[in-house]
Structure 1
Amino acid sequence: MIRQPFKARTPEELISLLSAVAMAILAAIIVMVLYYGREIIIPIALAVLLSFVLAPLVRLVQRLRIPRSLAVVSVVVIAFAFIFAMGSLLATQLAQLAGDLPRYQSTISEKIQSFRETTAGRGTLERASSMLKDLSKELDKPKEAANSLGTIAAPKAASPKPVPVEVLQPDPGALESLQTLISPLLHPLATTGIIVIFVIFILLQREDLRNRLIRLAGSDDLQRTTAALDDAASRLSRLFLIQLLLNGSFGIIIGMGLWLIGVPSAILWGILAAVLRFVPYIGAVIAAAFPLALAVAVDPTWTMLLWTIALFVVVEPVVGHVLEPMVYGHSTGLSPVAVVASATFWTALWGPIGLVLATPLTVCLVVLGRHVERLEFLDVMFGDRPALSPPEIFYQRMLAGDPTEASAKAEEFLKERSLGSYYDEVALRGLQLAQADAERGALAPDRLTKIRDAVQEFANNISEQDERPSPKVNPTTDVEATSAIEGVAEDAPYESLRVLRKEDLPSEWQGDHPVLCLAGRNPIDEAAAIMLAQLTDAHGLSSRVEAAGALSTANIFRLETAGVAIACLVYMDASSPAHMRYSVRRLRRKLPKATIILGCWMKDIDPAALESLREGAKADLAAATLGGALKLCIEATGVDSLGTGAEGQISKITAAS
């Protein structure tokens, strides 16, 4: 066996490896601190979230010319008085429910017996239960027989009479009684005290804390960072306050509904529903489980259970899908997977309180990730914004050979915009990413061919969509005169370009394929040429695509040029002006009367550079976008590119609704 020689790592690879190890160690340390320091961190987290909720109220009180310290103290006192009142009410309801539970035992027994009678002799569970009972009797028989024989053989021994022992404890004193009463309350009171202190100081020092966070962010743009964090803080405050009001309203409606239905301890279940609704997706389900179980135990019939189910089925969708979108939109800024993952993580760390705090804490982390560059990974991991831009998604799907998903994304885009706009704004930029990877040697030739084939299949999928008139087009819009350079897509809006009819075209344009789209150097250029050909076909100019190498010395004589009126030579990079010049020269010899357009579809190419490339290649026209090339093709026919009235059909290729 030949051993491979040891390959030393470069300094950059070592730094990257050490950074990854350091990040993993840091993450493990943070998790350990959160777990073992939860007695302190949980009150601080609660204080931070409460400060976001109370900050707008403090500002509102300050507008009444009340000093900040007095405004903070008054708002905090009122808020915690309300919390204590809710807690007292909750404790009273729990005590009352615990005292009433034994009364519901008979109802539960009757329903179980009724269920057994209904399924007696027919249910699998009933048969399994009967079999287990028979087996238990068989196993107990030998033991009983042995005990019986032993009793006959052995004489009955005299058992000693037990001596009663009584231990007397002295009556507890007043101090011991007070200690027994207060000791269970010490921990909650200490936690509450920590929360109150932190809330007060956070509200008093919020500007100072903001400045320290800006310093930690390490941004060079102080104004932008300050504005971003102020905006983030105000948005979080508004989000949490509105969510608190909505969830409180949800709890009030549920409590009143359960009271009208007759479910015991309706106030308790209303408060529980309001608290648990902070947990997305599953909070309302958990809140509904308790009153549903109680409804089964209380009502001898099933009426109360059905009414309780109906209450939750009606109220939750109304609040979640009607009121919430009206107030602050559908999303909290978290992806569904992030919500479930955060709920699992915080619950494992902090228990039930972690389940309630999971979403607010994760929202805070995502907002920090969006405004602090060093924490951007949090937004990528947990945010609901796409991790990849549309051009990156297009390129990634083409690279994976999966044009189906890209077609589905395109159909969403095409419901509002034209196909040409999609090609210019998404697909062409995706091909620019592919070209950049090809230039640095990251894409092998077979991968380039795979991308070309995927783009061809993508174009075939999109070509099945209908052409629909654009409702946004103004037919009287002026269009600039024809220029040798069309570099900006907005200069040639697709919605204003007419679909030409073959009978309206000049005779030299009525061939089978009057437009010839040629790839410059590689399959990426051919993929771009496929897009242009589809656009010209959609506007009434039939086209044909030739692969890269069609203009080489060996292949130029086999190039079919019959009926070609205009040729577009497509390049996705400008690294070889000489190749452009020789290609145009060969094409000119083959098509002496045809118009030649040089399509230079590089990223952020300026008009001066485009004009320089056109002059160097001796092309007739040049375009920096698909839209520019399409407009030049239509204008080269000599037919008015704008459609007016019944004679001009405006084109907008959209997905079928």
Structure 2
Amino acid sequence: MTTDPVTTRLLRQALPVVTTLASLLLVVTLAGALYFGRDILVPVALAILLSFVLVPAVRALRRLRVPRAAAVLLVVVLAFGLLGAVGSLIAREAAQLAADLPRYSLTLRDKITALRAATAERGGLSDTFSGFFDMAEEIGKELQPPAKADSAHGSDAPLGTAERPMQVEIHAPRSGLLTTLGSVAGGVLHPLATLGLILLFTIFILLQREDLRNRAIRLAGSSDLRRTTAAIDDATARLSRFFIAQLVLNLAFGLVIGVGLWFIGVPSPILFGVIAGIARFVPYIGAVISAVLPLAIAVAVDPGWSMAIQVAILFVVVEPIAGHVIEPLLYGHSTGISPVAVILAATIWTFLWGPIGLLLATPLTVCLVVLGRHVERLWFLDVLLGDRPALGPQEIFYQRMLAGDPAEAIEQGRLFLKERALVTYYDEVVLAGLRLAQEDAARGSLGRDRQAEVGGDFRAVVEALGQARMRSLLRRSRKPVGAEAEAAFAAIGPDRQAAGIVLARDDLAPAWRGEAPVLCVSSGGAFDEAATMMLAQTLSRHGLGARVTTAESLRGSLVEGERPAMICFSYLDPISLSQIRLTIRRARKAVPGVTILVGFWRERDPASLGRLRRAIAADLLVTSLSEALDVAVGRARAVAAAPLRRAAE
């Protein structure tokens, strides 16, 4: 059965639209399942996260030869008993605070009156804060206990005053026994059922942990059992360490806040300390939320402003220390989630699961990111939610060249040079970006005019980075370098030994002591000039003077300039081997005895390099700038030279 070509073409055009609609339908279906199934899914999620925290304790008991069932039950009972004690403490402290609130209303009203009088003297400020003061007064009136009714309504009233209106209270009719039991059961049984589900799921997850792991391996893909097992074990260990570290840090944060509030004299410091520890699970705004209530109580309790100022200072000092000093020491500089993903996840999970979703947003998103990094089928989760750059360093660099933004590429390059050598950056980032550009040009994706523009941006970056001072190997920068530079450090290997060597004149053989003993020849392609400039810069920065010329002007350069000790031919996209042999033959004829180095800036099989070098009759053949620097330093160094000097500022 043949298919109409027109129909086939229409189907191909409609395929992206169908794929997009199917993806949207899948997202909507998952969101609906999460929303309508929250009564079951929330306890399951809480049980899974709680199991990550309790697994180390169960393992410790197992190492003491405690049976698995007994170890799980003991750990779970202790954990839920601790949670119950915390909940009871919160309820008792909250009830005590609610009973004491009416006593603070007079202080609050006096303070509001004083503020209103102060702002009234400044004109416009009175109108600005008028609504706020009215609202605060209403709150103060609500906090006041109701006044006792006069014992004699009319007889004791002073003469000439109007009789008070009679207070009328409307009561709902008394409900029956079944209605009362239903309302009570609805408010009590639902939380108890949720708690029971969490307890049940936690016990079974801890008991069946290995079986659940095996099933996860099967779902993730069992074709490579060793790799999948290692990935899941690593993900489980990372999540467990992260959740335990976060729990310990937040508990310590709540303890410090509670003790600080107790020293300041704020009522119910235990309650506010517990709230601060719990609220800090909410990213970015948790600590701010936890500071609002104690600040309000401090304003209501203290006739002055010293208590409120001390509370504000307490939170302003403790939170940065916890977030920017202790947190990186416990579980790295971040949770592995991008800031945008944190806010987006908090919004989505709060919409789906309410306040519990807000507390679970970060842990659940961390789980998704870890799965995306270790499970190949879920790689898109790491791209969407993770904080690692979605593109490699060379891809980011080339994208900025395509966008016509060399300034940002120069800035990122300078950040990289704070820690690593310029030749390493050229090899791993800039030269790799040039290869991507050459591939696009070979495919016809870049026209001639576009090639000229992108090549000009490459040359601008190379010229700017070539003017940067050389990094000192004895003194490393400790300043923050940014996420992209950090990712580049992780993706790029260490500097080679020659990257830290600078040859002085006395270190050089006589033929290499001229101003420009190395002649770097560009093949003339749109991007070859940038590669040749990088080669010349690399050699010059390490004590080997070099100058750049093109293949067309090579003969004139040999006649007019001094005799070079080495001629380096640079090919980003090599032309025919016969043309290269002819060019090398002419160079040898013009400068007898010169060393010929050919740089093919493409990744090649090492076994074929020797045959290729012999085919083009070159003395040296390299595929990276670091290799070119290594062989040039070896050729230029005098036999009896002094010890090589290291690069310094």
SS of residue in 2 equivalent to 1:393: helix
Distance 1:111 1:367 in 2: 52
Question: Which residue is 1:435 aligned to?
Answer: 438
- 1:12–1:441: structure 2 CA closer, same or farther, 3 Å change rule? farther
Question: Which residue is 1:38 aligned to?
Answer: 38
Question: Out of 250, 254, 258, which is 1:247 matched to?
Answer: 250
Tell me the CA shift for residue 253 of structure 1: 1.7
Question: Which residue is 1:506 aligned to?
Answer: 510
State whether residues 435 and 602 of structure 2, in contact with CA within 8 Å, keep that contact through their aligned partners in structure 1. yes
Tell me the CA shift for residue 254 of structure 1: 1.2
Letter in 2 for 1:120: A
Tell me the CA shift for residue 470 of structure 1: 3.1
Tell me the CA shift for residue 170 of structure 1: 7.6
Question: Which residue is 1:615 aligned to?
Answer: 614
What's the TM-score, normalizing by structure 2? 0.83
- 1:492–1:98: structure 2 CA closer, same or farther, 3 Å change rule? closer
The Cα offsets for residues 143-183 of structure 1, whole Å up to 9 and x where unpaired, read as xxxxxxxxxxxxxxxxxxxxxx9999886666655544433
Question: Which residue is 1:493 aligned to?
Answer: 497
The Cα offsets for residues 29-51 of structure 1, whole Å up to 9 and x where unpaired, read as 11121122222221211111111
- 1:16–1:180: structure 2 CA closer, same or farther, 3 Å change rule? closer
Whose relative contact order is higher, 1 or 2, with alpha carbons under 8 Å and at least 6 apart? 1
Question: Out of 410, 414, 434, which is 1:411 matched to?
Answer: 414
Distance 1:542 1:448 in 2: 30
Question: Which residue is 2:365 aligned to?
Answer: 362
State whether residues 72 and 200 of structure 1, in contact with CA within 8 Å, keep that contact through their aligned partners in structure 2. yes
Letter in 2 for 1:32: G
Q: In the alignment, is residue 93 of structure 1 matched against residue 97 of structure 2?
A: no
Count of equivalent residues: 591
Question: Which residue is 1:231 aligned to?
Answer: 234
Question: Which residue is 1:484 aligned to?
Answer: none
Letter in 2 for 1:498: V
Question: Out of 390, 394, 398, which is 1:395 matched to?
Answer: 398
SS of residue in 2 equivalent to 1:639: coil
Letter in 2 for 1:184: G
Tell me the CA shift for residue 342 of structure 1: 1.2
Letter in 2 for 1:310: I
Question: Which residue is 2:631 aligned to?
Answer: 632
Q: In the alignment, is residue 110 of structure 1 matched against residue 140 of structure 2?
A: no
Tell me the CA shift for residue 326 of structure 1: 2.7
Question: Which residue is 1:331 aligned to?
Answer: 334
Distance 1:281 1:127 in 2: 33
State whether residues 574 and 602 of structure 1, in contact with CA within 8 Å, keep that contact through their aligned partners in structure 2. no
Q: In the alignment, is residue 49 of structure 1 matched against residue 49 of structure 2?
A: yes
SS of residue in 1 equivalent to 2:502: coil
Tell me the CA shift for residue 314 of structure 1: 2.2
The Cα offsets for residues 611-645 of structure 1, whole Å up to 9 and x where unpaired, read as 2222222223222221222333344446359751x
Distance 1:643 1:93 in 2: 78
- 1:43–1:505: structure 2 CA closer, same or farther, 3 Å change rule? same
The Cα offsets for residues 88-120 of structure 1, whole Å up to 9 and x where unpaired, read as 221222222222222222212111110121122
Tell me the CA shift for residue 437 of structure 1: 2.7
Question: Which residue is 2:385 aligned to?
Answer: 382
Question: Which residue is 1:22 aligned to?
Answer: 22
Question: Which residue is 1:462 aligned to?
Answer: 465
Question: Which residue is 2:309 aligned to?
Answer: 306
Q: Please tell me the root mean square deviation across aligned C-alpha atoms, in Å.
A: 3.2
Tell me the CA shift for residue 517 of structure 1: 1.6
Tell me the CA shift for residue 535 of structure 1: 1.1
Distance 2:45 2:251 in 1: 21
Question: Which residue is 1:595 aligned to?
Answer: 595
State whether residues 498 and 642 of structure 1, in contact with CA within 8 Å, keep that contact through their aligned partners in structure 2. no
- 1:100–1:168: structure 2 CA closer, same or farther, 3 Å change rule? closer
Question: Which residue is 1:75 aligned to?
Answer: 75
- 1:202–1:335: structure 2 CA closer, same or farther, 3 Å change rule? same
State whether residues 421 and 494 of structure 1, in contact with CA within 8 Å, keep that contact through their aligned partners in structure 2. no
Distance 2:171 2:340 in 1: 60
Distance 1:535 1:515 in 2: 11
Question: Which residue is 2:66 aligned to?
Answer: 66
Distance 2:543 2:581 in 1: 30
Question: Which residue is 2:576 aligned to?
Answer: 576
What's the TM-score, normalizing by structure 1? 0.82
Distance 1:166 1:329 in 2: 60
Alignment of 1:466-545 (within 5 A): 466-467=469-470, 469-471=472-474, 493-495=497-499, 497-501=501-505, 506=510, 510-511=514-515, 513-520=516-523, 522-545=525-548
Tell me the CA shift for residue 461 of structure 1: 1.7
SS of residue in 1 equivalent to 2:122: coil
- 1:458–1:128: structure 2 CA closer, same or farther, 3 Å change rule? closer
Tell me the CA shift for residue 325 of structure 1: 2.6
State whether residues 503 and 543 of structure 2, in contact with CA within 8 Å, keep that contact through their aligned partners in structure 1. yes
Tell me the CA shift for residue 290 of structure 1: 1.1
Distance 1:167 1:327 in 2: 58
Distance 2:574 2:14 in 1: 36
Indicate the larger mover: 219-228 or 384-393: 384-393
The Cα offsets for residues 15-38 of structure 1, whole Å up to 9 and x where unpaired, read as 555444322221121112112222
